[in-house]
A and B are shown apart, each in its own frame.
Chain A
Amino acid sequence: MNKNIILYAAILIFGIAAPFVFPAFKVQLSILCILIILAITWNVQGGEMGYNTFGNILFYGLGMYLCASVQVGMFFPLAEWTEGGGEKTFVHTPAQFFQGFAVGLAVAAIVPAIVAGLIGYSILGLRGHYFAICTLGLGVAAGEISGGIEIIGAGQGFTTPPFPKVGSLEARGEFFYFCSFAVLRLIIFLSLKIELLKLETSSRDK
């Protein structure tokens, strides 16, 4: 256990120091955090539960579009924003940007969870390769369908609001890095809880 605490403390210190030690790689480090999150969550589903899925990208994409849509839609008309050049016509004030981002993050956490509940009710009864192919179908269907919805930019894509001019030039990278890192810490904490829960249940069953 002591070893683990040292390891987690080392990761925490590295995580906090990383953007200052490697200032040029903040974006890559943020992506690294997000990829670790995706790997941990896949492990919970594919590794712990035995449901091998190819469709997690559905929830990932849902979260992206929801967060950006809420961030824009709270203050400006979404359809005009995505029509083209919206980010030039409408400009978020710093307060609007962060307020929208916070609400967007919350929505992006809640709605995909509900969608996952609904989908899970229907497809978790599938076994093995049928589940794998079904989730592959869901993931690609989500991509294809979102490419046809006009209000979120269709195939052209969605330009997210640019970061407001606050702090130094480095502020944007640092902000997104620490957001990703915080979520990573949260996910590691939750996955450890799940591990402990599993241990407790298994010892109780014995």
Chain B
Amino acid sequence: MDFLIFQVPMLTVQAVLDGLLLGILFALIAYGMALQWGVMNIINIAQGDLVILGGYIAYFMYLYGIHPAWGVIVSPIIMYFVGVIIYKLVINKVVDRDLFISILATFGISILFMQLMNFAFGADVVLANSGYGTTMLFDNSVTLPNSKIFSAFISIVFAIGLVIYMKKSKLGRAIRATAQNARAAKILGVDTEKVYAATFGINAALCGVAGALISITFTIHPYMGLPYTIRSFMIVIVAGLGNLPGVAMSGMGLGVFEEFADYILGTEFRIGSVFLLLVLILVYRRFKLSKKREYLK
């Protein structure tokens, strides 16, 4: 094996740390997807585009001289309302329908968002410079940008905050009740329509936070959304719906996989390897289940 990563052991540490920090961010996006999939039975292909839109909010704050880290607070607030508007315009019409209809509808929203962002913000790859500097570890042989540590920390804070909110608050309990049985929740006086709108809004807000963090840590581009959707879908199907520790673990696993794929296959195959991994996971699970005469539900 003449790959650089196997010749320099420190690169392995670098890849693992980078991957873990990146994976926490993926897990946050996947958490939003799992939430709305579980509550509304909708797979949102526009998930990644909501992330990128959230990223542009932080980027524009940066352009106007506000530190982009404030985007972590501003972006979810704006994105919450964007989410509610999308729900009112499109999603409420597909919520009780077949899952494939929701995929088609959100695929349409995704393409629309991509084109609108390309039209409004231009096709340049941009980033919001946080100026956080870097941390050097192990005799300067491992470099970690502080922005990555910051984004992982904020992701964890938001994820824990949401878990507590879902457990303790009235709306959180209503969301969980609707997820368990929408009809029973309705009979007991829960306004499921509002719950759905709030769920979609919360998901969009999570995407907003993740987007702001991505614009600080990495780069954003109007067409970069789909890989984030695929990653979060993959994380959710590997972890299983409603399994939060699983989402965090598989998110970090995916992050590490990506970093290694980057070093071994080359950056040009990084995204391709993520998509292929999705196909491989689905095929593996299909063959595993077909032995028991079952299929993926």
Which A residues are within 8 Å of any B CB, using their own CB?
Answer: 52, 54, 122-123, 125-130, 132-134, 136-138, 140-141, 144-145, 147-148, 154-155
Q: Are A137 and B269 in contact (CB under 8 A)?
A: no
Known: A126-B282, A141-B276. A136 touches B268 (CB 8 A): no
A-B contact pairs, 26 of them (CB 8 A): A54-B107, A122-B283, A122-B286, A122-B287, A123-B279, A125-B290, A126-B283, A127-B297, A129-B99, A129-B100, A130-B237, A132-B103, A133-B230, A133-B282, A134-B278, A134-B282, A136-B230, A140-B226, A140-B271, A141-B272, A141-B276, A145-B269, A145-B276, A147-B268, A148-B268, A148-B269
Which residues from A are CB-within-8-Å of B269?
144-145, 148
Q: Give the secondary structure class of A's interface.
A: helix
Which residues from B are CB-within-8-Å of A155?
268
Contact of B296 among A126, A137, A140, A147 (CB under 8 A): A126
Which residues from B are CB-within-8-Å of A145?
269, 272, 276
Instruction: Report the bound CA distance from A169 to B58 in whole Å.
Output: 53
Instruction: Report the bound CA distance from A140 to B276 in whole Å.
Output: 9
Instruction: Report the bound CA distance from A138 to B280 in whole Å.
Output: 10
Instruction: Report the bound CA distance from A55 to B283 in whole Å.
Output: 15
Q: Are A144 and B278 in contact (CB under 8 A)?
A: no
Q: Are A129 and B278 in contact (CB under 8 A)?
A: no
Which residues from A are CB-within-8-Å of B245?
none
Known: A126-B282, A127-B296, A140-B226. A133 touches B43 (CB 8 A): yes
Known: A137-B279, A140-B226. A126 touches B268 (CB 8 A): no
Which residues from B are CB-within-8-Å of A136?
45, 230
Q: Are A138 and B100 in contact (CB under 8 A)?
A: no
Which residues from B are CB-within-8-Å of A54?
107
- Asked if B275 is an interface residue, CB under 8 A from chain A, the answer is yes
Most buried by B among A127, A136, A138, A154: A136
Instruction: Report the bound CA distance from A52 to B45 in whole Å.
Output: 15
Would you list which residues of chain B between 169 and 197 have a CB under 8 Å from chain A? none
Q: Are B100 and A128 in contact (CB under 8 A)?
A: yes
- Asked if B257 is an interface residue, CB under 8 A from chain A, the answer is no
CB distance from B73 to the nearest CB of A (A): 33
Instruction: Report the bound CA distance from A54 to B296 in whole Å.
Output: 18
